[in-house]
Amino acid sequence: MAKPIIGILGAGKLGSTLARIGTSRDLPIMIGSTHAVSDLKWVIDTLAPGAISATSADVVKKKPMSSYWPSR
């Protein structure tokens, strides 16, 4: 069974901490914010490497991870 994708809205202290915990346990994490994805990407790449930065709308719509996740 595939791992569930965990969507987090908000990249503040709580959101980035939850993302870091999830990625440390090899869970697919998608985190969204009202800020520009380019601004969010730097923060998330630093605080929660492996999490995918997206818009809040994409997280809510559950946009397929394949649009973000690199092929394995």
15, pLDDT greater than 80: yes
Q: Name which of 11-15, 20-24, 59-63 the model is least confident about.
A: 59-63
pLDDT band (50, 70, 90) for residue 58: confident
In a domain, 60, yes or no: no
Percent of the chain with pLDDT over 70: 83
Residue 67 in any domain: the answer is no
Domain that holds residue 48: 12-54
Q: Which of residues 53 and 4 earns the better pLDDT score?
A: 53
Give how many domains the chain has, as a whole number: 1
Mean pLDDT for the stretch of residues 34-42: 87
Q: Considering the domain boundaries, does residue 61 fall inside one?
A: no
CB 8 within 8 A of CB 59: yes
1 within domain boundaries? no
Burial, 38: exposed, middle or buried (Cβ in 10 Å; 0-12, 13-18, 19+)? exposed
Question: Which pTM was predicted?
Answer: 0.77
